Structure 1
Amino acid sequence: MEDKEFRYKNELVQEALKEFAEKGFDSASLNQIIKRSGISKGSFYHHFDNKETLFSSVVQRVADEKLAFINQWLQQQGNGIKTAGFFEILQLQMEGGVEFALQYPELNQFLMSILKNPELMAKAEELSPRYYDEVFDPLIKDAVERGELRSDLEPNFMKQLIKYSLMNMGEIMLENIGDELNKEELMEQSRQFLDFLQHGLKA
């Protein structure tokens, strides 16, 4: 139902992002979102079915912006990225994620609000497959062919393992670091996560 030429779409999505981040899905006021974005209810319902489709649009927008930022971040790392291994690329992606959080705190606050809220998390997980497919399908395929990842495990299983590990890593960071963003602490947590992912817990 969304029209890409909808004049106030950016304002609407921005106001929805703030409202969902602050209050969660159930408590978020659609009336307040509509009022602050400067549109009529009729115009809203012409482009969105309900609050849930608006939330889906916000999640998709933030995910797309984060993915675009990380892709640009990877390109800025020079030609070495072309020969980098799976775990080196994953490290760079996580570094890009940290930079995204620091440069776009409002978008990161929305993502963190999802991690804190099981209700929002469940809704966001329904929308996440395309993001992880786009990022990890080619990486895992190449890593298996190069012998970096085990060939006896199904690629889809490895993708799911990485997906849920990354999601839960966000929760671990929240517990250990809190809402204050500290680049050094975030990078150290990322390093430990990758070390675990590569080597496990075995001494």
Structure 2
Amino acid sequence: MNKKSFERKNELLNAALDEFTRKNYENASLNTIIKNASISKGTFYYHFQNKQTLYLFLLETAVKTKWEFINSHMKEYPPDSPRRDIFDEFKLQAQMGMEFAVGFPQYHRLSIMFSREKGNKIYEDAKTTLHLDTESMIREMVKKARTREDLTEKFSEDFMVKILTYLFTNFDEIFHLEEDFHLDKMVENLNNYVEFMKHGMGR
């Protein structure tokens, strides 16, 4: 890809990111994206087949960037750290995710907008295409945690996976006020959230 074509694609991606973070998938306008990117339709179709392929490309880029960020920071916390249980894992990964949100606010906003697509075809298409399966990741963590006896035997594996998956994937929907997006407040909410998952509300 020559320099001019690369610059055009970047302009297109920036315009698309702006549109998809302000509107849901259905209402996002490809014509608006093309206009704001100051490119021709021919240039758009040179890079992408349609609005969906553009949207999926942005989601994939956001996911890859996020996990590269998390994995690079997780190296500071080796798995054999003293008594690191599943809840410590949640805290570490979520805290890295929050730092990512502060550093890459548009990608974070895109992920929030995507989570609101639940129930729509684009959500299922994206999950299938990008292999976004949080439940499988949580199940693997639960299996390891049960082996280490981090979790109670009172509840079945399926029950814990479903509950933890729901709690893990809906954090942003629970804490959605503007003040909640300051890093200090996010970390405070996260710590309380994980403590709630670990100990519940009982005395």
TM range (shorter): 0.7 to 0.9
1:56 and 1:124 in contact (8 A); partners too: no
Report Cα offsets for 1:113-143 as digits up to 9, x if no partner: 445xx44784446534535267545433321
State the alpha-carbon separation in 2 of the partners of residues 119 and 163 from structure 1.
17
- Where in structure 2 are the equivalents of 1:35-46 lying within 5 Å? 35-46=35-46
Within 5 A, what are the aligned runs for 1:76-95?
76-77=76-77, 81=81, 84-95=84-95
Match of 2:168 among 156, 166, 169: 166
Deviations 1:18-39 (Å, cap 9, x if unpaired)? 1111222233221221233354
Q: Does 1:153 align with 2:146?
A: no
TM-score, normalised by the number of residues in structure 2:
0.76
| Aligned residue type for 1:188 | E
Structure 1 residues 40, 135: CA separation in 2 closer, same or farther (over 3 Å shift)?
farther
- Mark the CA change 1:180 to 1:18 in structure 2 (over 3 Å): closer, same or farther: farther
Q: 1:91 to 1:31 in 2, by over 3 A?
A: same
**Partner in structure 2 of residue 3 of structure 1:** none
Residue equivalent to 1:25: 25
Distance 1:82 1:42, change over 3 A: farther
Kindly name which structure, 1 or 2, has the bigger radius of gyration based on alpha carbons: 2
Q: CA deviation at 1:90?
A: 1.0
| Secondary structure in structure 2 of the residue aligned to 1:26 | coil
Q: How many residues align?
A: 193
Compute the TM-score of the two structures, normalised by the length of structure 1. 0.76
- Measure, in 2, the Cα distance between the counterparts of 1:12 and 1:81: 44
DSSP-derived class of the 1:76 partner: coil
Q: Residues 77-156 of structure 1 correspond to what in structure 2 (within 5 A)?
A: 77=77, 81=81, 84-115=84-115, 118-119=116-117, 122=120, 123-124=122-123, 127-128=126-127, 130=132, 132=134, 135-150=137-152, 153-154=156-157
CA separation of 1:31 and 1:192: change in aligned 2, threshold 3 A:
same
Structure 1 gap ranges (5+): 1-5
Give the AA of the match of 1:130.
Answer: L
Q: Secondary structure at the match of 1:27?
A: coil
Greater helix content? 1
Structure 1 position 104, deviation (Å): 1.4
1:121–1:22 Cα change, 3 Å: farther
Cα contact 2:98–2:186 (8 A) shared by 1: yes
State the AA in 1 paired with 2:17.
Answer: L
What is the CA RMSD across the aligned residues, in angstroms?
A: 3.1
- Cα distance in 2 for partners of 1:12, 1:134 equals 34
Structure 2 gap ranges (5+): none
* Larger CA deviation: 40-49 vs 11-20: 40-49
- State the one-letter code of the partner of 1:154: E
